[in-house]
Structure 1
Amino acid sequence: MEAPDSLQLNSQYSHNVRERAQWERSRVITFCDICKRELENGNRSGGSLKKFVWTSIATKFKNETGLTYDSQQMKHKWDMLKKEWKNWRILKRLATGLGWNPRKGTIDATDDWWDRNIKANPEIAKFRAKGIDPELEDKLGFLFDDTAEQIKNDRRYMPHFKDCIGAIDGTHIPASIPVTDQLPISGEKGCQRKT
């Protein structure tokens, strides 16, 4: 007996259906490492990578993992990780003065605090049970932090303020710059030039 036309049609085109990408931890780490190398090679365009790079990333990802994901899936993963990173940073800014749950790797707060903040931003709900893995957090920070390359790579800009999380939300974080490392400001008294 012959299969109905609809079944034949489905079997003819099933090879064109793209399989959903599965992103277990090791694959995400590999993806981030590949993207980092592309950024280090100067392939940034605004807040993302240059359009032509996604095909290259898909090829490199296949070479390293044996998995065939297309350039669109690579770009989509980038966008999802960027969104996750931004929400994680928002959550950490909200959490000033709260504790840390090392078992969960996330903020240690009351149910009331979580309920209030999730209501205000439902995107942070996923972090209630588990935060971003510390290794992945470092990689995402490299990929998505908005600090300009000139500032990141030039010792003259903020060298003594690394890891001062919370400074933007008004939390006082004591920091001092040794006199030998201070840069003179025109017309400023008390700051001597380096010799």
Structure 2
Amino acid sequence: MDSKKEKGKREIWSKEMVLELCRFLNKYITKHGRTSSFKWVSLQPEFEKIVNHKFSSDKAMKNKYDGMRKEYNLWKSLKNGETGLGWNESTRQLMCLDEWWKTKTQGNSKVLEIKYNQPSIQLQEEWDQLFGDAVASGENCVAPSMDPTTFNEVHVENLEDDNVEGENLETHENNFYADFLTEVNQPNASTLSPSEVAKKFEKPTKGNTKPKPVKMKRKGRDSLGASILKDHLTQSNMNQQCALEILESDSSKLSQTTKFSIEGAVGVLNQMVDAGLMREDEDLWFFAIDLFEDPVKREMFINVRHDHSRLAWLQRKQRLAD
């Protein structure tokens, strides 16, 4: 009975353990590649030794990985799914108004958890490496969230052509075109019919006057066309990433300018009036309006996280001014 309770016990993950788990899994991906699935049965005991902690469930590591993947997708949708958000590039944290958070938390309690516990810079970097999509620029491109066992492996073998005696496929092709051009340049070439030209290049074999078929073999290296296409895809992806970074940077700058404007500050003040924290006809309200003429104080007011804290800050400023 006690063992059943122990298995049903919810695991407690500290921030340090979560970050260590991401680093542990990223090292595994670096060593084995993204096409290798996680061997949870052997990985969990190894991780338990690293963090010096024994989990009650043998699926604790996998469950945490699945949960982090959902949290990562939610974080990306909050960060990239809206325009005009307040984003602090130095701390890499969302600086949104309470009204925005209130809208997002409706019907999703996980958003409220992210609001008061946003992932650190280190965790965001580990998440991007662990769950970010792979770049489609070559073979073995599989996103880490995919199950690599569902993909059919393609093995490219360097085969030898046993049916062509003493020459490979490239030599045969080069000789054909050289002989063809020589024959075309001969004076009587124009008098030959297509069938007669073809007969001149039939290569007889022992006991048989018919040309021996040449089997086309796939080579282990890329052809020129495939190499050019791969380079084009790689360059195209780099250009897209660069363009995305520029757009995000411009959007962030525009967002900062709009957020800390007088209109933005007064909007937050009106929100406090609607919440009953002050009235528009009292001295504190007029004091705040005059205070917002200073861009530094205006930015400080907006960056305070809660309306009650903003009210206390305004009251202190008013007392110091008096």
TM-score band, normalised by shorter chain: 0.5 to 0.7
1:30-45 alignment, distance < 5 Å: 30-42=20-32, 44=34
Deviation of the 1:65 alpha carbon = 1.2
Deviation of the 1:35 alpha carbon = 0.7
Look up the match of 1:138.
125
Normalising to structure 2: TM-score of the pair? Answer: 0.40
Aligned 8 A contact 1:58 1:68 in 2: no
Q: Distance in 2 between matches of 1:37 and 1:163?
A: 30
Deviation of the 1:143 alpha carbon = 0.6
Which protein is bigger by CA-based radius of gyration?
2
1:26-175 alignment, distance < 5 Å: 26-42=16-32, 44=34, 50=37, 53-69=39-55, 70-100=57-87, 106-119=93-106, 121-148=108-135, 150=137, 156-160=235-239, 161=241, 164=244
- What code does the residue aligned with 1:33 have? R
The Cα offsets for residues 33-83 of structure 1, whole Å up to 9 and x where unpaired, read as 1111221233545xxx625x1122212212211112354111000001001
Structure 1: gaps of 5 or more residues: 1-9, 172-195
The Cα offsets for residues 81-110 of structure 1, whole Å up to 9 and x where unpaired, read as 001100000000134322236899632222
Aligned length: 155
Provide the identity percentage. Answer: 22
- Name whichever structure is richer in helix by fraction: 2
Q: Distance in 2 between matches of 1:59 and 1:91?
A: 35
Task: Summarize the Cα distance change of 1:17–1:43 in structure 2 as closer, same or farther, 3 Å threshold.
Answer: farther
Deviation of the 1:133 alpha carbon = 0.8
The Cα offsets for residues 9-32 of structure 1, whole Å up to 9 and x where unpaired, read as x4xx44883353221011111111
Aligned 8 A contact 1:96 1:166 in 2: no
Structure 2: gaps of 5 or more residues: 142-230, 252-322
Q: Distance in 1 between matches of 2:128 and 2:243?
A: 12
Q: Distance in 1 between matches of 2:137 and 2:29?
A: 14
Aligned 8 A contact 1:29 1:136 in 2: yes
Q: Distance in 1 between matches of 2:96 and 2:19?
A: 29
Q: Distance in 2 between matches of 1:58 and 1:149?
A: 31
Q: Distance in 2 between matches of 1:86 and 1:57?
A: 24
Q: Distance in 1 between matches of 2:4 and 2:112?
A: 37
Task: Summarize the Cα distance change of 1:33–1:145 in structure 2 as closer, same or farther, 3 Å threshold.
Answer: same
Classify the secondary structure of the residue corresponding to 1:68. coil
Task: Summarize the Cα distance change of 1:14–1:54 in structure 2 as closer, same or farther, 3 Å threshold.
Answer: closer
Aligned 8 A contact 1:106 1:130 in 2: no
- What code does the residue aligned with 2:244 have? C
Deviation of the 1:125 alpha carbon = 2.2
Classify the secondary structure of the residue corresponding to 1:159. helix
Look up the match of 2:190.
none
The Cα offsets for residues 100-158 of structure 1, whole Å up to 9 and x where unpaired, read as 36899632222222222222654322222231111001001111112346479x86353
CA RMSD of aligned residues (A): 3.6
Task: Summarize the Cα distance change of 1:37–1:103 in structure 2 as closer, same or farther, 3 Å threshold.
Answer: closer
Normalising to structure 1: TM-score of the pair? Answer: 0.63
Task: Summarize the Cα distance change of 1:58–1:23 in structure 2 as closer, same or farther, 3 Å threshold.
Answer: same
Q: Distance in 2 between matches of 1:84 and 1:138?
A: 14
Aligned 8 A contact 1:93 1:166 in 2: no
- What code does the residue aligned with 2:42 have? S
